[in-house]
Structure 1
Amino acid sequence: MEITLDKKNSTEGLIKIKLTEGDYQPSVEEKVKDYARKANIKGFRQGKVPTGVIKKMFGKSILVEEINHLLSHKLSDYIKENNLKILGEPLPNQDKASTIDWEVQKNFEFEYLIGLVDEFSYDLSSKVKVLSYPIEVDVKTIDETVADLKKRFGKVEYPEVSEAGDNLFGPLRIKEGDFAREQAFVAVEKVEKKEQKKFTGVKKGEEVEFDIDKTFGDINEKAQLLGLSVDEAKNAKGAYILKVETISRTEPAEVNVELFDRVFGKDVVKTEAEFIEKIKETIGENYKRESDHFLEHNIEDYFVNNTSMNLPDDFLKAWLKTSSQGQVTDDVLAQEFDAYKRGLKWDLVKNRIADDNKITVEADEVRAKAKDMIISQFGGPAIAEQLGDKLDAIADNYLQNENGNNFMKLYNQLRSEKLLKFIREQITVTEKKVTVDEFKKIVEEHKH
């Protein structure tokens, strides 16, 4: 057997494997004997089928099977032994393989195209500067949250005539056309201010005609009303008619102990001041997660944009099409290949940083993460005390489920957390405090 690598350039190579009869024949003969022992063929006693008959009936398929088995192992071993950093999987030269005459040939030559990771360097130092946007919880956000909680936990009534702030329910149809929806609803407060008067003073059973674009400036509200995706809703135009069958009105809850208990649990907060402080704390935690997530995105941006790396585009496209079983087409590649390359580049940088700095995750850490997750989902520290020693068994059972995918999911999550924490400690992160609205605007403008 002869295996060679012909590097076409720094990112692509061709592995050639030459086989002689002596490389595969012993295993083929053994498989023929195995078939002879197990075959159940009319006219022969089981276990007494001559090998000549087996070769005549199954010889070609056995030969192909054994050679493919041999190639798979030898190719994998060669890549490992030579420490080749490949992308995707080796692609066999199908044109060359199609010329093989399995009936006659004794010697074979196979070719596999491989994509290689080119050498690259990255900067992980204080010279790397990335902006973070901690979100300040302002009075406006707190007031809006309190108003939302009062409404969410308020008393719902069903009046006969609508007012501002009500919700109107009923069938919806387009005035000219065939669109119709059996049940839709309009939240009057979500309607453009100039158009809200159309939806107030309406009695049950009456119809409201409105221009959908004038009525809804927010495409998401328009999509929600029509029950369509945002992209589909963009094309919806003209006059629509809502027949009002039900009107709902929420009388806001009073800010008192009953509301405190319903929102945060019994006796967690007892005064309005504590209630406001708890809301501020909860919002702050949620916004910190959003801010941290956006910081991670900015870190990714920096390394993707500032790390020079060559990738084998042609190989990757061919591999994606081959391995997707027809799901990835040229049209799909035209739309999504740049995003795929970006993700691949970031993964390569992260893996190199993790390898260079020996950032690893142990099985005990994954188990501890699983236990924390279970405790969090089922009632906090109190449940841990109730479960006692059973918690370990529950965690192990969870990690083993889904063919080990649960273990890998938590493993990758922990590895990512460790890696990003390490990166943040090495680079310079500059903070710029912003309001919620400012943060939303920054995120929206930053979208790729």
Structure 2
Amino acid sequence: MEITLDKASDTNASLNITISPADYKPEVDKKLKQYSKTVSLKGFRAGHVPASLVQKMYGKSILVDEINSMLSKTVSDYIRENKLQVVGDPVPNREQADAIDWDSQSDFAFSYTLGLASEFDIDFAELPAVNQHDIQAGDAEVDSTIADLQKRFHEHTHADEVGDGDTIYGELKQVNAPEGAEGFTAKTAFPLNQMAEDAKGQFIGKKKDDVITFNLEQAFPDEKARATATGAPKEEVAGLTGEFTFAIDDITRHEPAGLDQAFFDKVLGAGAVSDEAEFRTKVAEIIKSNYNRESEQLLRLDIEKTLLDATPIMLPDEFLKNWLLEVNEGKFTPEQIDEQYGDFTKSVKLQLIKNKIADKADIKVDQEEVLEATRQMVREQFGFAGSENEEMNQTIDRIARNYLTDEKNNGQNYTSTFNRVFDDKVLGYAKEQMTIASQDTTVDEFKALVENRQA
């Protein structure tokens, strides 16, 4: 077998392969013998069909299959062994392949067009520093968070008159029932936050024992909200229209929780803090912890951006655009490919950079690492903390293995988890090699940074 690589430029090349009988004949002959032993043909005993007849019937198809198998392996092995920075897939010369005479030829020539990335290297010492934002939660952020928590852990009180956001309890009656039907009536509750804005005025300011006459459909135009307000089955609620009366029996209101020990215990757990000052300190720590996760994600993005900006890589643009059109089989127009090409090349270059780092640092991901990452995902998803309970650990392990081997998605679960572990290891290594500068950042400043990155 002869293999040659002809580079037309830094980003375009042809891989030429010539296959001779010595390369394929032993395997083709072997498969023909196997067919001779198993083929069933009328007029011949099993295993006694003449070799010449087997050759005539199956020789060409066996030859084609063997050559195609050899080509696939040869191209893949050559790219890997020579560490070619191939982007996209090798594109075969179809005219050359279609011109082959499988009946008479013994030597076969094939050619593949390769798109290559230009050579590049990564010098961590030359890269600029990247900021890691240490989020500082100020009084305004703590006050806002505590106010939200007070609303979430609200208390119920009984009000003297109806206010916006209250829930009123009472008896609902239909004023004009359809002819021959009994008017609808129910003891129910009206949450004013589900009522149409222009209907609330009929209820706000009313007191216990007041009776309001109103149009039900106008007050609750959404059928789902009307079903909640009336308690009627879904199939009946569409017919509940027109005038109704509502006699108020009680009015309840959500009041923000007080800053007392009961509230502290609900939010943080019994005895975690004993006064407001300790509570504020703990809330500030939680805010900082929550934002630190986002800060870590922003750091990853900034590391990737720094690597991209500092690593010039040329790509075979025309080859890639044609390849994208072909592999997407008419899903995109050339104009749409052009529009999205910038984002595509960023992802290609970033993956090339990560692969280069992994190669230089000998970073690998084994199956056990993928499995352990999946176990951890299961623990987080189902709220399982680290446990010494063997039965629980076995359950987690079984769920993780089933997730990774799920045949419904053709191994995508394993691939996506592998890629996530790979990225974590590569970016973790890059972080160790780069200069990371800690920077105190307020919550508002950090939010602005994130918005600018997403813009």
Same structural fold, with TM-score higher than 0.5 when normalized by the shorter chain: yes
Q: Are 1:281 and 2:275 an aligned pair?
A: no
Aligned to 1:133, the other structure's residue is in SS state: strand
User: Which residue, 300, 316, 320 being the options, matches 1:296?
Assistant: 300
1:154–1:251 contact (8 Å) kept in structure 2: yes
Change (3 A) 1:362 1:82: closer
User: Which residue, 392, 401, 404 being the options, matches 1:402?
Assistant: 404
The residue type equivalent to 2:357 in the other structure is I
| TM superposition shift of 1:302 | 2.0
Q: How does 1:63-102 map to 2 (within 5 A)?
A: 63-102=63-102
1:162–1:201 contact (8 Å) kept in structure 2: no
2:200–2:219 contact (8 Å) kept in structure 1: no
Deviations 1:81-112 (A, max 9, x none): 43333234322112221222323333221111
Change (3 A) 1:55 1:329: farther
Q: Are 1:438 and 2:445 an aligned pair?
A: yes
1:384 alignment counterpart: 387
CA RMSD in angstroms comes to 4.2
The residue type equivalent to 1:438 in the other structure is E
Q: How does 1:297-376 map to 2 (within 5 A)?
A: 297-324=301-328, 327=331, 330-360=334-364
Change (3 A) 1:27 1:311: same
User: Equivalents in 2 of 1:126, 1:74: separation in Å?
Assistant: 38
1:367–1:396 contact (8 Å) kept in structure 2: no
1:163–1:201 contact (8 Å) kept in structure 2: no
Q: Are 1:138 and 2:148 an aligned pair?
A: no
| TM superposition shift of 1:128 | 0.8
The residue type equivalent to 1:310 in the other structure is M
| TM superposition shift of 1:77 | 2.9
Q: Computing the radius of gyration over CA atoms, which structure comes out larger, 1 or 2?
A: 2
User: Equivalents in 1 of 2:253, 2:61: separation in Å?
Assistant: 74
Q: How does 1:33-182 map to 2 (within 5 A)?
A: 33-125=33-125, 128-154=128-154, 163-164=163-164
The residue type equivalent to 1:28 in the other structure is V
The residue type equivalent to 2:119 in the other structure is E
| TM superposition shift of 1:299 | 2.1
| TM superposition shift of 1:339 | 0.8
2:201 alignment counterpart: 201
Aligned to 1:64, the other structure's residue is in SS state: helix
User: Could you tell which deviates more after superposition, 359-368 or 278-287?
Assistant: 359-368
1:5–1:14 contact (8 Å) kept in structure 2: yes
| TM superposition shift of 1:285 | 0.9
1:30 alignment counterpart: 30
2:365–2:422 contact (8 Å) kept in structure 1: yes
1:162–1:199 contact (8 Å) kept in structure 2: no
Identical residues among aligned pairs (%): 37
User: Could you tell which deviates more after superposition, 249-258 or 142-151?
Assistant: 249-258
User: Equivalents in 2 of 1:18, 1:362: separation in Å?
Assistant: 36
| TM superposition shift of 1:18 | 1.4
User: Could you tell which deviates more after superposition, 133-142 or 269-278?
Assistant: 269-278
Equivalenced residue count is: 390
Change (3 A) 1:197 1:395: closer
User: Equivalents in 2 of 1:208, 1:392: separation in Å?
Assistant: 54
Aligned to 2:134, the other structure's residue is in SS state: coil
User: Equivalents in 2 of 1:197, 1:336: separation in Å?
Assistant: 44
Deviations 1:209-230 (A, max 9, x none): 9xxxxxxxxxxxxxxxxxxxxx
Q: Structure 1: which 5+ residue stretches go unaligned?
A: 168-184, 189-195, 210-245
User: Equivalents in 2 of 1:251, 1:430: separation in Å?
Assistant: 45
1:11–1:116 contact (8 Å) kept in structure 2: yes
Q: Are 1:3 and 2:30 an aligned pair?
A: no
| TM superposition shift of 1:341 | 0.8
2:129–2:437 contact (8 Å) kept in structure 1: yes
1:238 alignment counterpart: none
User: Equivalents in 1 of 2:13, 2:202: separation in Å?
Assistant: 73
1:11–1:312 contact (8 Å) kept in structure 2: yes
| TM superposition shift of 1:8 | 1.2
User: Equivalents in 2 of 1:444, 1:288: separation in Å?
Assistant: 16
| TM superposition shift of 1:12 | 1.7
User: Equivalents in 2 of 1:280, 1:420: separation in Å?
Assistant: 29
| TM superposition shift of 1:360 | 4.8
Aligned to 1:385, the other structure's residue is in SS state: coil
User: Equivalents in 1 of 2:307, 2:69: separation in Å?
Assistant: 41
TM-score w.r.t. structure 1 length? 0.72
Aligned to 2:54, the other structure's residue is in SS state: helix
User: Could you tell which deviates more after superposition, 40-49 or 368-377?
Assistant: 368-377
User: Could you tell which deviates more after superposition, 317-326 or 128-137?
Assistant: 317-326
TM-score w.r.t. structure 2 length? 0.71
Change (3 A) 1:154 1:95: farther
User: Equivalents in 2 of 1:434, 1:248: separation in Å?
Assistant: 42
Change (3 A) 1:314 1:424: same
Aligned to 1:135, the other structure's residue is in SS state: strand
The residue type equivalent to 2:282 in the other structure is K
The residue type equivalent to 1:442 in the other structure is L
| TM superposition shift of 1:410 | 5.3
User: Equivalents in 1 of 2:306, 2:131: separation in Å?
Assistant: 10
User: Equivalents in 1 of 2:376, 2:333: separation in Å?
Assistant: 42
User: Equivalents in 2 of 1:199, 1:300: separation in Å?
Assistant: 54
User: Equivalents in 2 of 1:140, 1:200: separation in Å?
Assistant: 33
User: Equivalents in 2 of 1:14, 1:123: separation in Å?
Assistant: 30
Q: Structure 2: which 5+ residue stretches go unaligned?
A: 168-190, 204-213, 221-245, 406-410
Aligned to 1:111, the other structure's residue is in SS state: strand
| TM superposition shift of 1:298 | 1.9
